Structure 1
Amino acid sequence: MTDANPRRQELKNRVEAVLNEHVRPTLRADGGDLELVDIDEDNIVQVRLQGACQGCSSASYTLTMGIEATLKSHVPEIRFIEAVP
Structure 2
Amino acid sequence: MSTEELKTTIEIALQEIRPYLEADGGNIKLVEVTNDTVSVQLEGACLGCSVNQMTLKNGVEATIKRHAPQIKQVIEVSGIRF
Match of 2:64 in 1: 71
Runs of 4+ in 1 over 6 A off after TM superposition: none
* Cα distance between partner residues in 2 of 1:55 and 1:39: 24
**Amino acid in the other structure paired with 1:70:** T
Identity between Structure 1 and Structure 2 (%): 44
Alignment equivalent of 1:46, drawn from 21, 39, 54: 39
Code of the aligned partner of 2:6: L
Spell out, residue by residue over 1:8-33, the C-alpha distance to the aligned partner (whole angstroms, 9 max, x if none): 0110001001111x210100011000
In the other structure, the counterpart of 2:7 is 12
Two-structure CA RMSD over aligned residues (Å): 1.1
1:34 and 2:28 matched:
yes
Structure 1: stretches of 5+ with no match in the other structure: 1-5
Q: Which runs of 5 or more residues in structure 2 are unaligned?
A: none
Matches of 1:70 and 1:17 in 2, distance apart?
10
Taking the aligned partners of 1:60 and 1:11, their CA distance within structure 2 comes to 23
- Give TM-score, length-normalised by structure 1: 0.87
Q: How much does 1:58 deviate?
A: 0.3
TM-score between the two structures when normalised by the length of structure 2:
0.90
